[in-house]
Structure formats: structure tokens, C-alpha cells
Amino acid sequence: MIKKFVVVTKYLSLTALILIGVLSCEKDFKNVGVNIVDNNIFSTDKYTSEVVAYSDSIERNQTNGLTKYLIGVQRDAVFGKLEASLVTQLSLTENNPDFGTNAVIDSVIVDIPYFATLDGTQTDVDDNNVPKFVLDSVWTTGNGTFQLNIFELGTYLNRLNPDNPTETQKYFSDDSFIKTNPLSPLYSSLIAPNENDTMLVVKRFKYPNYPDLFGKVLYQTDTIKKTTLAPSLKIPFDKDVIKVIFQDNASGNDFASNSNFQHYFRGLYFEALEDNQNNATLMNLAMSDASLTIYYSNDVEKDEGEDEDLDGNGVTGEENVTVRTPESFVFPFTGVKSNLYQRDDSASDFENNIVAIDPINGEEQLFVHGAEGSIAIIKLFGEDANGNEIPDELETIKTENWLINDAKITVYIDQNNTTNWTPSRLYLYAIGNEDDEDDTQLTDAMPQSISDIGGWLGEDSEGTPEKFVFHITDFMSELIKPDSEVVLHDLGIKVFDTHDIPNQQIATDTILKNYNTNPKGLVLKGNLPNTENNRIKFEIYYSEKN
């Protein structure tokens, strides 16, 4: 931790006051600075402790109630393959939507916004300057495609826990869901991300010519742009299928309320599969703003203005003329949503490592990967030979009466085993014990000090990603007190996710949320071999009274 330097005067009275403050509170001491410990009353030193570190698989994550969701496929030689699918409810914006007279569906589009950043302008095919976007959360290999199949969902998604309606229902990455008509998807095609997909063209046709394919008459072409221009994934559905499910039943009881509708049409199942060319694209999408929109046309009676000829019959100023009118109904994805992760680690470096993990002596490599991937586990302070649940090394340190200035764990990237996606931050936390205790935040990550714990990617002098440093000064200061009630748990290192941040307004928000939507990963150096300079380090910087 960075020390705040103060000027210590030569006057004995002021020195005495400072020392009283130091002895009364360790946390105050570590903020005083080196000028105090340089006066021969205190001396500073560094203590290095050996750790044991190894990898472990994440069996499941909670994957509902998120702000963003993964769809697509990720593959590399280090971690293998991840297929991220999705289930989601749709919601009504009005009960019993009225499609009107002679309504015909023109187009059905599922629209899912990308996370994108505006990056100046570019010239389109018509030499117009248009916005240029960069997709923020898309990871590709090969030609950057994956196979997407979308089915009607056959499983009802409960918002509340059926066994305890006072609790929100939790869904997990390994849950199973039913596909309605699994041999007849609503959509099936290869998907490739497109940062230029910012608008939609809908062709509108007259009635009754349409749907006669040989007699349809185009009456209007609409170019549809959102209020906030940004790229989105646009997926067309079969109009005839949607007509049967939505339009033909819109006036009935199934559309009389949102609850009825979500029991009738239970949602969509987005199934992501690797294509047969081993290409891969994984996308983190803004599903909270996604929707299914039915664009349709109907007949509306209107009065023409004095110079208007709305029905195109050559006569102006008529009353009650029938006008073909463009309309739309939007069904937002505002109900329950949940990700499904399917992993295949076969023939990967991770699989070769995880089958022979040594939790006693540790490992040379640590595999850390998000989205139901893997974590690194760190054991501090060695063995507990006397069986009192306090490691012997820690028992000795408790007798030293140290004042902790800094305590940090440094892990180095294995430069010989790099992945395509290195995370910018890792996160350190306390792992729950075998009695099903929750994983918890360390003191250094609690409200108003989230940045203190660190874990940001550090680079060497050449700008190459090199290491991550975690500061656990507050945690260690409490742990080494002779009468401390702080329990020493194994520590976990995971890929940082925004859901990891505790609520800054709630001091008791100590439970680490079981989420991870960050699919990045990397290989770190472990605690072996002992001759390795860049193996994991645990260092304590302390002061003690002379």
C-alpha cells in the first residue's frame, strides 16, 4: 500500500503523540510513513512466505439476472471450446395487441444490440459519411462465425423460486431446458458479427395481393434506425410461423396478460454451436435491450386532405378511404434470461493439467478462465502440525507483534503459454469451506477500498503483459493479531467480472456473487519449481519496535 509521508518535527512532545497513535492502531500506523520508523524506534523489514498454488475447475455459475449475456463459441488450444447459449422470455407491451384489418406480416426481426464504441466516421457505398463503430465485446478466431439455431422454448422460466416464493429463482450455467419442435428451429444459420449493421430495411406490401408471391405489390420501403444509432445483431424469423403463434392468437386469453403470454409462449432458446470449419465467435450482448419486432401492414380508413390522394385512385379530398398503413408490435426481452455454457476441454492444455493436480505440493502452471472455466487456489502459511486450525507459520508470526505496512501476492504470466484473450484484471477472494460456506470478499476489497486490492494487469519495460499484484494489507493486519477471530481460508484467483464489486453502500456486502460473464483467460506461473524466479510470491512488509 502506498504510504503517506509526513514531516516529523524534532520536538519530543510531538514525537510522543505520534507514537501513541501508532501503538493504538495498526491501520493508522501504516498511513504515517517511513519518517517515524527511521528514528531508530522502529525498524522495517520484509518477510517472504512460501505458498502452494494449483488450478481447479468451476463447475457452474449463476447465469440469470445479469446485464449482459454471452452468445457464441470460443476455442483455443489452452482451454478448449466453450459454447454459450441462451434462454429468454419475451414480454407484452400491451395486452391483446390488435393487428387491425387485413393485417399481413411484412417482416419479423430479433434485434440484439452489440456493445460498441463510436470511432469517427467512414464512407459508405454511396460516398456518404456515416458513423464508424468498433465492437467492444466480440472475440473471434478463424473466419469469425458460429452456428446459431433458435427454437421456441418449451420450459417455463419462473421468476420466483417455486419452493420459496419470497426468493428470486436462480438459474445456472449447467441447467437443462426443453426446445419446442427441436427439428424445426425458428432460425438456423451461420452468424458473423457486423459493426456496420446499424439499420433495417422493411419492405411493405399491399393486400390482398400479398402473400400471393406472383401478385404482391410493394407499396412502401421503410429504413428503420434506432433513436440512438448503434450496431445490433438482426435475425429474421419465418413470417408464417410467427403469424400462427402471435397474430392468429393475439385476441385470445393467451395474450390477455403478460403472465398468460409467458405461459403460452415461454420464450426463445438460442443454441450456439461450433461450425464445421472450427471457426469461432463469442459475443457479449446487451440482452436487456433486445426485442422481437413484428413489422406488419393493415388497412386503415382515413380522410384525405384537399390535395391528398392516399389510396392512389387519382381522386383527392375523399373521406373514409382505405389506406395501407405500416405498423409494428415490439416484444422486449424483459423477462427471465439465463446463459447456458457447454465446455469441451478435450485435448486442451487445461485438461492435461487438471487431471493430475497436486494440491499438496502445488503446480508449475495456474489456469484461470472466466465463464464457468477455472480458478487458481492459493494456500497460505503451510501446514498445521498441531491440528489447532492455525498454520504453524502463522502462529509464529502472531507472536512477533508486527505492524503491517503492506502484504501482497504477485503472480506472473506464463509467457510460453499465451491465450488469445488476456484479461485486464483478475480478482482475489476467500474461498468458502467444505460446509458450503459462500465465497467472500477480503477486507481490502470492501466498500470504499475496492481499488486497494489491485489485481490489474501490469506490463514490463517492453510493454509486454507480465504480472498481477494483489494487496491484502488490511486482511493480513487483522489475521496476525494474537486474539484475531479472522479465519484463514484458501484464496481464489478468478477472472474479474463487474458483478464481483461489493455494494459500496452496504458494509456487510461480503458475499462474492457467483457470476462470471467474462470469457477471457490466461496461464500463470505457479509455485513450482523452487528455482523459478517468476513463480508466485507472497510478501509481507512490516515494522517492529527495536
Residue pLDDT, tens place only, 21-49: 444 444 444 444 444 455 567 788 899 99
Q: Are residues 303 and 425 in the same domain?
A: no
Query: Tell me, what's the pLDDT at 11?
Result: 38
* Domain boundary, last residue among 304, 335, 366: 335
Asked whether residue 342 is assigned to any structural domain, the reply reads: no
Q: Are 370 and 498 within 8 A, CB to CB? A: no
> What is the average pLDDT value for the chain, to the nearest integer?
84
Q: From CA 37, how far away is CA 28, in angstroms rounded?
A: 14
Query: Tell me, what's the pLDDT at 509?
Result: 67
Q: Are residues 324 and 460 in the same domain?
A: no
Query: Tell me, what's the pLDDT at 3?
Result: 35
Query: Global pTM?
Result: 0.84
Q: From CA 429, how far away is CA 444, in angstroms rounded?
A: 10
Measured from the Cβ of residue 126, the count of other Cβ atoms closer than 10 Å reads 6
Query: Tell me, what's the pLDDT at 292?
Result: 96
Strand partners, 224: 200
Q: From CA 45, how far away is CA 522, in angstroms rounded?
A: 33
Query: Tell me, what's the pLDDT at 38?
Result: 52
User: Which is higher by pLDDT, 67 or 123?
Assistant: 67
Q: Are residues 378 and 309 in the same domain?
A: no
Asked whether residue 420 is assigned to any structural domain, the reply reads: yes
- Closest by CA to 233, choosing from 109, 136, 132, 342, is 109
Query: Tell me, what's the pLDDT at 336?
Result: 94
Taking only the tens place, the pLDDT of each residue in 282-328 is: 998 888 889 999 999 988 888 777 787 777 777 777 788 888 889 99
Domain boundaries, position 362: 48-59+348-545
User: Which is higher by pLDDT, 309 or 405?
Assistant: 405
Question: Residue 53's pLDDT band (boundaries 50, 70, 90)?
Answer: very high
Ranges 196-200, 239-243, 408-412: which has the least confidence: 196-200
3-state secondary structure 500-529: HCCCCCCCCCCECCCCCCCCCEEEEECCCC
Q: Are 339 and 70 within 8 A, CB to CB? A: yes
Q: Are residues 136 and 250 in the same domain?
A: yes
CA Rg value for the chain: 31
Q: From CA 484, how far away is CA 507, in angstroms rounded?
A: 20
Q: Are residues 169 and 79 in the same domain?
A: yes
Asked whether residue 298 is assigned to any structural domain, the reply reads: yes
Residues whose CB falls within 8 Å of the CB of residue 213, separated by 6 or more in sequence, listed in order? none
Residues whose CB falls within 8 Å of the CB of residue 174, separated by 6 or more in sequence, listed in order? 59, 60, 340, 341, 372
Q: How many residues does the chain have?
A: 546
Asked whether residue 330 is assigned to any structural domain, the reply reads: yes
Asked whether residue 341 is assigned to any structural domain, the reply reads: no
Asked whether residue 41 is assigned to any structural domain, the reply reads: no
**Number of domains comprising the chain:** 3
Q: Are residues 324 and 383 in the same domain?
A: no
Q: Are residues 305 and 387 in the same domain?
A: no
Q: Are residues 285 and 188 in the same domain?
A: yes
Look at residue 349 and tell me whether its pLDDT is greater than 70: yes
Residues whose CB falls within 8 Å of the CB of residue 118, separated by 6 or more in sequence, listed in order? 131, 132, 133
Q: Are residues 256 and 358 in the same domain?
A: no
Sign (positive or negative) of CA dihedral 206, 209, 213, 217: negative
Grid cell, residue 423, equals 484479461
Q: From CA 308, how far away is CA 32, in angstroms rounded?
A: 82
Q: Are 418 and 77 within 8 A, CB to CB? A: no
Query: Tell me, what's the pLDDT at 325?
Result: 87
- Closest by CA to 93, choosing from 292, 300, 337, 338, is 292
Q: Are residues 80 and 7 in the same domain?
A: no
Ranges 3-12, 15-24, 327-336: which has the least confidence: 3-12
Question: Residue 241's pLDDT band (boundaries 50, 70, 90)?
Answer: very high
Q: From CA 187, how far away is CA 235, in angstroms rounded?
A: 8
Asked whether residue 64 is assigned to any structural domain, the reply reads: no
3-state secondary structure 322-365: EEEEEEEEEEECCCCEEEEEEEECCCCHHHHHHCCCCCCCCCCE
- Closest by CA to 59, choosing from 408, 341, 330, 437, is 341
Compute the CA torsion angle 189, 193, 196, 201 (nearest 10 deg). 20
Query: Tell me, what's the pLDDT at 210?
Result: 47
Query: Tell me, what's the pLDDT at 9?
Result: 35
Asked whether residue 340 is assigned to any structural domain, the reply reads: no
Taking only the tens place, the pLDDT of each residue in 112-130 is: 998 888 887 777 666 777 7
Q: Are residues 389 and 316 in the same domain?
A: no
Q: What letter represents residue 450's amino acid?
A: I
Q: Are residues 320 and 453 in the same domain?
A: no
Tell me phi and psi for residue 465, to 5 degrees. Answer: -55, 130
Taking only the tens place, the pLDDT of each residue in 416-472 is: 887 778 899 999 999 987 666 788 888 776 655 556 788 999 988 888 899 999 999
